[in-house]
Amino acid sequence: MPLNAEQEWTLVSCGLLALADRTLTGGEAARLLSLVETYLDPEEQDLWMDLVCDKGALEAHFEHMRPPPLEAGLRLLEAVWNTALADGDASLSEIRIFDRIGERLSIEKSQLAVHRKTWTYAAMERAEVIAGFVANLLHRGSRPTDDDRMSYEALIARLPLSKTRRDRMLKSIDAPPTVEAIAEFLSRFEPKYQVETLRSIAHELLRTDRRAAARQQMAEVLAASNLPQSLLGDLPGFAKTDGVAS
């Protein structure tokens, strides 16, 4: 089925932002497409995959789209900004693309700056939960190895964190937060951001060799946060059918 206006704008806008500094790889295009792939049949997915990899075609498509309602515009702008923060921070070219998208959505530039600040702070809060979960996991059953430490430092480098937060989270590899502390932090978020944070954790752990321990820890975090255990089945790599031992 075709995308609605908000879905189409989200995909195209995130694509433009991802292409702001470089050429998109097939894997990156696939990650963008995952934002809306449940709404598309296979043939439509192929067409959109070709479009988001072609900056010129994407620019032309963007110029001819009709803006969605304002409420939808703010939701998609937040998704766009989170795409900009996906590698730790936003470049000047990405900020320019973001402002251009906001202008087409009839949002004043001064308000765009306020929204960026608000969403960046929220993203840093979520990043702390992600880092804390991984740091705790690396202490389950054994001490972190040198490879674990390198992987953790790489994770911290690409999360949207201020220097103060980044320095603090780097130290968490030796003194990780408890499951209860992680759950308490997670509980402060709105429900949609709780799920988004959990999905981000799952994405970071798709290649972990601590899969069973990760699933057990996730179950403990859900319980401590008073969230349903059924969420496990919705997280990539955490469902029992994904090869995770119970």
Which residues constitute the domain of residue 221?
Answer: 122-242
Tell me the residue type at 55: K
> Is 231 found in the same domain as 141?
yes
Say how far residue 69 (Cα) sits from the centre of its chain.
24
What's the total number of domains in the chain? 2
The fraction of the chain above a pLDDT of 70, given in percent, is 89
> Is 82 found in the same domain as 12?
yes
**What is the CATH number for 226?**
1.10.3680
145-199: pLDDT as tens digits: 999 999 999 999 989 998 899 999 999 999 999 999 999 999 999 999 999 999 9
65-111: pLDDT as tens digits: 988 887 888 888 998 898 888 777 788 888 999 999 999 999 998 99
**Token output for 41:** 């049949």
Which of 38, 27, 36, 40 is closest to 1 using CA atoms?
A: 40
